Amino acid sequence: MLADHAQVADGKLFISGGGWSTCGPGPVPCSVAVLFHVPWQETDRQVRFTLRLVDEDGHGVHQPGPESAVPVHVDGHFVAHRTPTVAPGTEITVPMTFNIVLQLEPSARYAWILEIDGYTDDAWQLAFATRQAQAAAR
């Protein structure tokens, strides 16, 4: 889910201004809230993921950096642990959030693409658009 802000506390997602699909242009706070659903048989092993922002042509988006443009992506991993109190066969959820202020072009389309252990799925994409630039006041 896309949101203005999101965080994880006590194993839960806390989302503010969630569910948008249009923003900006200009500096825009953007949070991506992800809830990984890990099948019981896949627990207690490392899961690698990449979350990256692409433009409407599928090219990676870059943001201004101190010395050069920086690609907008996160590479990470997690392990969903089985605890003694969880019944065998139970799916384990792992919440995560990623917060960034984006500098985006007006009238453009973007998508966050999630890849898990080298695989992706259309259902793991979050598409959004930016509004047209406002005319300068006279």
Q: How many helices, marked H, and strands, marked E, lie in the chain?
A: 0, 12
| pTM over 0.85, yes/no | yes
Please say whether the beta carbons of 99 and 30 come within 8 A: yes
Those residues with Cβ within 8 angstroms of residue 1's Cβ, 6 or more apart along the chain or in another chain: 15, 18, 19, 32, 33, 126
Residue 132: per-residue pLDDT: 93
pLDDT for 137 = 57
Q: Give dist(CA 91, CA 71) in Å, integer.
A: 33
* Intervals of the chain under pLDDT 50: none
In the chain the domains, ranked by start, together with CATH numbers, are 2-121 (2.60.40)
Per-residue confidence (pLDDT) for residue 65, from 0 to 100: 78
CA-based nearest residue to 22, from 118, 96, 132, 99:
132
